[in-house]
Amino acid sequence: MRQIVAWFVLITLVAFLITSALLLHPFGYPPSAMDDYMIARSQAETASNNVVAAVVFDYRGLDTLGEATVLFTAVTGVLLLFRSLKKREKKT
């Protein structure tokens, strides 16, 4: 039974991978009209001369804030882990 489930999952993943690869847009072509919209209107809407900065900080600001929060949390966790290890070494 496990082999049947494993084969089914494998075949499903391979089919998904092949389908995704076939549906990719050619390199250099914008996948949607949203790209043209951002390029044409980013300076007027965000007062930024850099389109990339406008997208990252204005259009997707909450997403960027979430990513920064995750990174900050990960770094804080690692620092706390190293701090607790250092305290244990001092006790012994």
pLDDT in tens, 13-64: 999 999 999 988 777 776 677 888 888 888 888 888 888 888 888 888 888 8
Query: How confident is the model at residue 12, as a pLDDT?
Result: 97
Any idea how long the chain is?
92
> What pTM, to 2 d.p., does this model score?
0.44
The confidence band for 11, taking pLDDT boundaries of 50, 70 and 90, is very high
Sequence ranges of the domains in the chain: 2-91
pLDDT given for residue 14 in this prediction: 97
d(CA 5, CA 13): 12
Cβ 38 vs Cβ 55: under 8 Å: yes
Residue 21's pLDDT is what?
Answer: 92
pLDDT band at 92 (very low <50, low <70, confident <90, very high): low
Distance of CA 64 to the CA centre of its chain: 10
* pLDDT score at 33: 78
Distance from C-alpha of 36 to C-alpha of 27, rounded to nearest angstrom: 16
